[in-house]
Structure formats: structure tokens, C-alpha cells
Structure 1
Amino acid sequence: MTRTRRMIRQTLTIARRDFVATVFTPIFLLFLFAPVLLGSFSTIGALAASNVGGTGDNSRMVAIVPAELAKPMTEADARLRGVFRRDETPPALTILAPARDPGRQARAAFAAKNYDASAVLYGPPDRPAILYAPRGPRSADYLAVLARETLADARLGAAKPTVVATRTAFDAKRPPRADRGGSGFLAVFGIFFLTLFLSGQVVGTMAEERNNKVIEVLAAAVPLEAVFLGKLLGMFGVAILFVAFWGTVVGNIGALMPPTMTAALGGLSPPVGGPMFALLFVSYFTMAYLLLGSVFLGIGAQASTPREIQMLSLPITILQMVMFGLASAAASRPGSWIAMVAEVFPLSSPFAMAGRAASLPGLWPHAAALAWQALWVAIFVGVGARLFRRGVLQSGSARLFWRRRNTVDTGVS
């Protein structure tokens, strides 16, 4: 058996050992259903926040107008609201008859007990005065447009021109630039979320085996490079199992989505084609996991206690957030200098190249990027194994400077 084949076999043995030791435990079920727990906590938090600050339904726009304008204003309000999406609809309109002093009445409307006034309109219909609260500038703009439409309806009546538009859906062959930018960000965020959730577990894989001295037995039997790469592949197998499980669940739920949402997602078609983009997304997720996992494995191998692992969690999370920010900036400006920096820098390259696949055509840059990222995986694994050998096992040609000790000459002259 050649040396390469022996190392591959040893690597796969370590990977299978770590995969089985992780998956066939009750704790893995808790990890597998962690998104359900996180989603439940998020839903509970959102419901609590909406209950605490849920005064939006009590918000009102108030119009103090004569009785002859009440009906035209109500009809114009109903017509204008048809162009708003449900989450952007202005507050409900309340119409009041003018009192002796409309200005004083308008100011008193902000102190009403049965509603919260965001803006109040009063005065002549052609020169209305509008008062608005700190959060009511948009309501004030809406009331100004509503006053114009109401006055036109009242004065012109049946003579007001009507427009009957013919609307035809058009399937553009090329998605708009804004859609391509949105697709790029979704690709970056998808890989970032998966790696943030999954790659962090690699940090603590060496601590337990360092404490029970198993790592010394493994290091004596197989090369440390095979140990590191095997552990990395084993944890990646766990990540693939996690993604496959939730991918199947989300895929079945996606079949129940409304046709409008499905059409909106279909409009985010990447320039490289749907099947090729899916293949590139999986490839870049693999490389992102291996790159970040190899770095985390090398850093975590230097920790010997759970406390040290916890101290490493913050810089690791900060590193992931920086890579996400850099790749997001690249996705919003494809082809720029910041996009080139993000695509070349090893740790951000998978994120940025996934965003590029969703925004720009061309396949040869992806082949070069995957080869470049694979090279850095090998470098990180080799460097991590060497640091562990010299710094922790204290073997090799040299020791790390912070682990060197001053020798004392005890010889007798």
C-alpha cells in the first residue's frame, strides 16, 4: 500500500470514528432539532415584543372636514389604499366634523383617549393645514394627497377623467440588477448561516481527547495531518446530515407555499443557471465549512479546558461576522475592487464566490476559486497539525516561542 493510500485510509478511519461518535448519541437529536428551539424562542420573543409595543392598530389619521367632503374623502381613501401592500398600509382614517376652532380641535385630537393620532388635517380643502406627530411624517404626506384627490372628486364629479389600464405580466429573460443583488445576498447569507451554526462545533473536538490522552495514542498510530483532516471530514459529515435533514423538511414545506411567493422566488434566477448554481452553492458551502473548520480546529486544538474553548468563541464569532460583512459588500457591488478582495481572501472567498454565482455569468472563475480554496484548506490543516505537534505534544524540530522554557544548567564543572 502506497503512502498516499495509507494516509487516505487513516483519514477516513478517523472521520468515520468521529462521525459515529457524534451522530449515535442522544445529544445529537438535541442538536438536530436546535432550529426548532431557536425558532420557538424567536416566535415567543416576537409575540412578546408585539404585545408590549403593539399600539400600531390604535393609530389613526384624523381629517376635520365639512360634511359634504366626508363621503368623497372616504371614497378617495379607499381608492388610494389599494396601491399599498398590507404591511405598508397607512393608519386608519377618522373623519370629524369641524368645531368652532378647528385648529384647537386638531391639537386636541392628539390627546384623544380612544386612539393615537399620527397626523391631523384641518382647514380649507384647497389649503389644508396638517399637524403630525414625531412618527407621522408619512401620514402627513398621505393626508396631503388625500386632500387633493378629495377636492378633485368634489369639484369635478362625473367630469373627472377615468383611466382603464391594461396590465400584462411579462417574464423578463434577464432579472433586474436589484434582483441579482438580492440573489447574491441570499446566497451569502445562506452559506454564512449554515457555517455559523455548524462549524463552531469543530472547536471543541480535540479538548476531550486531549484530557483523556486519546490524542497521544492517535498521534502515535497515524500522522497528525490525517487526524486533523479526518476529524474535519467527520464533523463535515455531521453537517451534511444536518443540512440534508432540514433541506428535506424545508423542501416539503416549500411545496405548500402560495403561488405568488413561488413565482417571486423563481424570479431570482441566477445567471449561471439553476442547476449549476445549486451545485456551486453546495461546493462553496463545503469549502466554507472546511476552511473555517480547519482554522477553528487548529485554534481549538491549543485549548485544553472548556473555559479556554469558551474564551475562543467570541473571536471566532467576530471572524465569521467580518467575513459575512465583507462578502455582503461584495455581493452588493459585483465586479468592484472590494468584491475582488473578498473573492481572493481565503476565508471570505466561498461566501463572495457564491454571491458572484448569483449575480454574474461565467464558470471559469469558480473553477479557479474552488482550487484556490482547496489549497488553503490543505495549508490550514498542515499548519494546525504542526502547531499542535510542536506546541502541545512538544515534539518536532522547534517549539512555539510561548511554550519554550529556559533551561537550567545543572552540570558540575
Structure 2
Amino acid sequence: MGATFAISVFVICYMFIISEKINQALIALAGGTLLLLTKVYSLEDALNNYIDWETIALLFSMMVLVSITKKTGIFSFIAIYFAQRVNGNPVALLVGMAILTAVGSALLDNVTTVLLFVPVMFTITNMLHLPTFPYLLTIIFSANIGGTATLIGDPPNIMIGQAVEHLTFLSFLNHLGPIVLIIFISMLIFVSHHFKKQLIMQTRSVNELHHMKPASYLKKSPMIYQSIVVLSLTIIGFILHPIIHVDLTTVAVSGAILLLLLTEKELATEKVFQEVEWITLFFFIGLFMLVGGLQEVGVIDELASYIIWATSGDLPLTALLLLWVSGIISQIINNIPFVAAMIPVIKEFQTYGMADVDPLWWSLALGACLGGNGSLIGASANVVVAGLAEGENKAISFFQFLKYGVPLVLFSLVVCTIYVYIRYLLPFLHGL
């Protein structure tokens, strides 16, 4: 009875989350609260066992760091300066913005990156009288692909990194970076060629662009130097995690607190906290509670047993099945709750005799992050960009996005299948 109820609450909440008719965070929290009221688990269990406070703290800290840095105008400066350097060439601008977005998503996170670059892109495309859809589509794809490469680039990776201690920032970059680069370059070649005829440069508009002064967007104060230094030190701390043995959350929290202290006189802490994406944080909390209900009643254990049964405990088959299942499901629903549900499942595999489950973690990360490109609700970055576009009266059609997203995901999964098989599964099969 308990299992049926927990599953029902989980599924119903999922349906409401997908419909987007009611705030997603509110739905997730309501579902979690219902599990508490019906005593599926206790408040103590929720707080101590199921809500991953390390992930919440890491996200919060990065939001604080980027919120303060954004106030300096450095991100707007970079975008406009680059547009001028490529002389307003539409194709070069598309490629350049894609690279900036991918790198930004890898070093910060994809949601933060699109929040920074999309408004600037609207300014530039409006000035140059260019269609916005090719740029928005490319930004979404670049954000999700770039975010796949690092531990902090995409929320699913953050969750995996927090759940598996030995998977460090450099581990993600080493294992996922090569395949991400291949997929990113392939995507870039396709979009730049496909939209080339729509991207026509207008001389008058380019002249207006050159009259813009990038430096005018910079806030001339100590805060700009403080922000850049602290943000850089935080990223270096992530990279040096295996050497300094300080966990990622501690590094991020330390960086956020330090920057808040340094900039308190110029920017009140209250104002910084007002710009934190609280809805996103509470959405995560609610999702952790929903998945905790499934763990409490044994659904996760049963799911792990079923996958082991379906694949006969074969590591190569399990890895490839996980890659494709996560990639396909992430096109239909947001990848965050799916990864939250699968993390304990993979952990259960070790109790069934799988000694090395790292290939499963990489398969899950690749499938969930890249699968998010399939639809407008597949990843958080997609939802954010769609909302910004609608606010500018340049709404992205769900099916218009699907036309490009689904083929990209299928291509990505095929390439990842080859990569996972050659890099991880062949050595396993040959006992290396």
C-alpha cells in the first residue's frame, strides 16, 4: 500500500511538472509534504537522509558568485566586444556565441550562463536585424553540451558528483570532455550551415554595433576585480580538489562568503539574496523529497533488481541500456528528477556484484545531459531560454524546437554509444 501511494504521488507530481500549469517547485514541495503528512517517512528522515543539502549549498553558492559578478557588467562587455571583433558577421557571431556559451556552461553552469547571455543576444540580434531562433537554438544546444563536460556544468552532473566522492571535477573533464568536444563541433557545423541563408549581414546595422561602447557596460569599481579574482579562485579550487582535499561545496561556499564580505559596501547582501534562483533551489528540495519516498518504500531497490534482471547483470549491456533510456526519457521529462531517481539505483548495483560502476555513471551523465536537448522541457536551461524568449515576444514553438532537438539527441546517443563501448566496455570485455 505504501509503495503504491508513493509511486502515485511521484507520478502525479511528474504530470503536473511536465504540464507547467502550476509552479514546478510548488508541485514538488507539495508532493514531498504529502509524503510527510501520510508518514511515508519522517521529517527527520527527509532532512537527514533524502534532501541532498550539499548539492543545494553548491548551487546556492554559485548563484551568489554569478549574481555579484553579473552586476559588474563583465559578461555584457565580453559579448558586445566579441560581436564587434567579428564585425557583426552573423555566422561568426553564431559560432562565437556558441563557444562562449559552451565554455561558460562548463565553468559556471548552463542555467546561469543562458541567463547571462540570452538578454545580450537579444540586444545584438535586434540591432543587427537578425532572426533570433537560430541563436536561441544554438545557445540552448551549446549550454547543454558544454555543461555535460564538467561536474558543475549541468545539475545532473552536480548531483552525480555529490553522490560519488571519487568523481572529481577533473574526472568529469577527462571522461566526458573528449566526447562533448566531438558532439559540440558536429552541432556547430550543422547549425551554421543549416541557418546560413537566414543569417544575412546588413551594413547599416553593423555600423550601429560599432558605435556601441563595451566599456560603458563595466562598473568601474573594485567590485569588478574582486568578482573576477574570487570566481577564478573558486574554479581553480574545483580543479585542485583532488590535491587540496577540500570538497566542492566547501570551496563554493567559501568563495561566495568571501565575495559577499568583499563587496558588502558596494552591494548589500540583501540585494544579492533577492536575485538568487530560490524557485530552482526549492524545486530541487521537493524533488529530493519525492525520490526519497520511492527509496523509503523500496521502489528503488526493486527498480535496480529489475534492471539487473533485464541485463543479467552484464556491465556493457547495463551501461548502454542506461545511456539510451536516460537519453530518451530526458527528452520527455526534465533530466533533474530522472537523475535523482537513478542515482540510488546505480548505487544498488554494487550490492549485486558489480565492482566497478563508473561506466554507468558516465552513461547516466551523458544520456541525461545530452538528452535534455530533445525538447523545451528536457533541461532547466531550455525552460529558462523559452521563458526569456516569450518575454521578448519571440516565443519558441515546442514542435519547432523538437524538429532540431530530437535528431541532435539521437545523433549524440549514437556517438556516445561508440565512445562508451570503445573507452570503457572493450577494456572490460578483454579483462584490462
> Relative contact order (alpha carbons < 8 A, sep ≥ 6): 1 or 2 greater?
2
The TM-score, its normalising length taken from structure 1, stands at: 0.28
Higher strand share: 1
Structure with bigger gyration radius: 1
